[in-house]
Amino acid sequence: MAAIYSVNSGASETLSLPIPGQRNILITSALPYVNNQPHLGNIIGCVLSGDVFARYCRLRGWNTIYLSGTDEYGTATEVKALVEGKSPKEICDQYHEVHREIYQMFNISFDIFGRTTTTEQTVIAQQIFLDLEHHDCFIEQETKQLYSEMSQIFLADRYIEGTCPKCSYVNAKGDQCDQCHQLLNPLELIDPICCIDGSRPILKKTKHLYLNFDKYRSRLEEWLKQSMERGQWSPCATSITKAWLERGLEPRCITRDLKWGTPVPLKKYEDKVFYVWFDAPIGYISIMAQVCREWRQWWQNPDQVELYQFMGKDNVAFHSIVFPYTLLATEANWTMVNHISATHYLQYGTQKFSKSRGIGIFGSDIASTLIPVDVWRFYLIMMRPENADTSFDWNDFQSKNNTELVNNIGNYINRVISFVTKQFDGILPEANLVTETEVIQSINTVLSTFHDNMNSLKLRDALRNCLSISSIGNKYWQLQQPWKLLKTNMEKCQTVILLCANIIKLLATMLEPFMPKTSDLILSQLQDQHILIPEQFNLLLSPGHKIGVATPLFQKITNEMIVEYEMKFGVACNNSQTD
């Protein structure tokens, strides 16, 4: 149990298939866009959240697949390739590796971590498109778009610069002016130039296909109502979805004048590709198809498979409306999302993460901090923006590490194990726990809340439940004073020791989804192995079991360290934490 699944670890050979009569859980994390490095906010938003839940599901014994991969097609990659004088494929290969390494370092237990630029993607996306075409879901519209004759490329708004018609700022972007912050239409810019080659863009006519939401709209709404009622949808997923529906579903363009994408399999459209929002969610399916010929058993099996999708709030509408509509309109029996866990944003202090401006902490910075990955995982989950945006704060990070990890969990485990080693030669004594019903009852209350929180995807509260278990242990230890009982009441002393050791084992098991390495370390100190998470407290370590030696699990973060990190990554503090 709880094997450490490495990223893309040859899942091809062993990917399990849904088992009739069991819970079969398919978990996806929103596909990160390939050409930038993930920052802490990206990591907590979907990749780490999905990992915590996937690990929990495995610890319940549920048949679980966790998948993600890099989203590789689109303008941004094509432009980056032009600018760097590389091929789009080279850019993707390079950054796919960057992502893979960062998630591996974070101990993200993907069963599959793939990519969208594959033959499987082309085959599946084109088939879905043809089904929609067959069901009359597209309309054609002609538009005029800015085009660079020099680079022979249609230009996305942000690749055009010119003078702002509102404030005369000379470097306004095609979509927004950085000086007056007004939203712009690129056609409004005075003296527009192409950012890629400096040429003057021309207006060129082009035809595109738009997805029309009329035909299957009532079916979509009926499905949505059921899914939201029965599933675990985070409040922001529900509110964003309802707002979209209320605003009315305008036809959405699904094609682009680009080369780097999945080709549109239709006459007169051969030189166009799918727009990434149409293409990328299909990546979830094709990424599994790359490693598993039987992928339909997961993806066309709604009665036996539960689909959980983790994402940031900016991705909700694509997963709750647009992609499900696409699947419904094929009229095939797809596995549709049952649960959407969407997060708000984590900011760096009061600022947005920005690689170019050197603000915040990015995936590859983590190793240089010497703070263990589990501590990062812990803090990110503690700050998970479940109800509103949250802020990374160095002082808060230090305080939570020093109080919760070092003083609460670390201290408790260290005291108990050291005491058993010293007084009982490391061997758990004979004892009867029937006298300790009050403590066991309070443990059970927390444990059952923990399961409720996990099942309703309130990961932050579930982590707090782990801290509560440790607090219960600490208080009990302090109250009973086993070092005194040793001389006055040996029988009671033995009871306290056995119970406290069992609380450690329970804690190690509950912590595994959040802090897998720490969980391993605690179990190695107990000289024991991973087990499924129990529903109720029971004897997990028996009298006579020999435990190992205590070593410190966590280190204090000092003021000097904080000063150093702030010099390196920028100051991040926020005195008005609300969430």
Q: Which residues bind Zn ion (CB under 5 A)?
A: 164, 166-167, 169, 177, 179-180
List the one residue out of 107, 125, 127, 106 whose CA is nearest residue 116.
Answer: 125
Give 143 or 168: the residue with its C-beta nearer to Zn ion.
168
Q: How far is the CB of 186 from Zn ion (least distance, A)?
A: 13
Give 177 or 504: the residue with its C-beta nearer to Zn ion.
177
Angle at 166 between CA 160 and CA 167, to 5 degrees: 95
Query: 386 — phi, psi (to 5°)?
Result: -80, -35
Q: How far is the CB of 353 from Zn ion (least distance, A)?
A: 25
Show the tokens assigned to 394: 């160095």
- Burial tier of 266 (Cβ tally within 10 Å: 0-12, 13-18, 19+): middle
- Burial tier of 140 (Cβ tally within 10 Å: 0-12, 13-18, 19+): exposed
The span from the CA of 367 to the CA of 405, in Å, is: 20
Show the tokens assigned to 177: 């002016």
Q: How far is the CB of 167 from Zn ion (least distance, A)?
A: 3
Give 83 or 180: the residue with its C-beta nearer to Zn ion.
180
Q: How far is the CB of 158 from Zn ion (least distance, A)?
A: 15
Q: How far is the CB of 170 from Zn ion (least distance, A)?
A: 10
Q: How far is the CB of 193 from Zn ion (least distance, A)?
A: 16
At position 70, the amino acid (one-letter code) is: T
List the one residue out of 254, 251, 246 whose CA is nearest residue 213.
Answer: 251
* Strand 63-70 versus strand 24-29 pairing type: parallel
- Burial tier of 268 (Cβ tally within 10 Å: 0-12, 13-18, 19+): exposed
The span from the CA of 474 to the CA of 492, in Å, is: 17
Give 167 or 367: the residue with its C-beta nearer to Zn ion.
167
Residues 6+ apart with CB under 8 A from 438: none
Cβ–Cβ under 8 Å, residues 445 and 457: no
Give 176 or 395: the residue with its C-beta nearer to Zn ion.
176
Give 179 or 304: the residue with its C-beta nearer to Zn ion.
179
Q: How far is the CB of 172 from Zn ion (least distance, A)?
A: 5
Phi/psi-derived region of residue 279, left when phi > 0, alpha when psi is between -120 and 50, beta in every other case = alpha
Give 189 or 541: the residue with its C-beta nearer to Zn ion.
189
How far is the CA of 221 from the CAs of 215, 233, 242, 500, 562, in angstroms?
12, 15, 10, 52, 50
Cβ–Cβ under 8 Å, residues 546 and 322: no
Q: How far is the CB of 164 from Zn ion (least distance, A)?
A: 3
Give 166 or 219: the residue with its C-beta nearer to Zn ion.
166
Q: How far is the CB of 168 from Zn ion (least distance, A)?
A: 7
Coil/strand/helix, residue 255: strand
DSSP designation for 428: P
Give 1 or 167: the residue with its C-beta nearer to Zn ion.
167
* Strand 112-115 versus strand 190-194 pairing type: unpaired
List the one residue out of 400, 408, 519 whose CA is nearest residue 471.
Answer: 408
Give 22 or 171: the residue with its C-beta nearer to Zn ion.
171
Q: How many residues comprise the chain?
A: 579
Cβ–Cβ under 8 Å, residues 572 and 360: yes
In angstroms, how far is CA 165 from the centroid of its own chain?
A: 41
Q: How far is the CB of 148 from Zn ion (least distance, A)?
A: 23
Q: How far is the CB of 161 from Zn ion (least distance, A)?
A: 12
Give 176 or 304: the residue with its C-beta nearer to Zn ion.
176
Q: How far is the CB of 394 from Zn ion (least distance, A)?
A: 35
Give 119 or 168: the residue with its C-beta nearer to Zn ion.
168
Coil/strand/helix, residue 421: helix
Q: How far is the CB of 190 from Zn ion (least distance, A)?
A: 11
Q: How far is the CB of 192 from Zn ion (least distance, A)?
A: 14
The DSSP string of 287-326 is HHHHH-TTTHHHHT-TTTEEEEEEEEGGGHHIIIIIHHHH
Give 164 or 258: the residue with its C-beta nearer to Zn ion.
164
DSSP designation for 339: E
Give 179 or 402: the residue with its C-beta nearer to Zn ion.
179
Cβ–Cβ under 8 Å, residues 254 and 275: yes
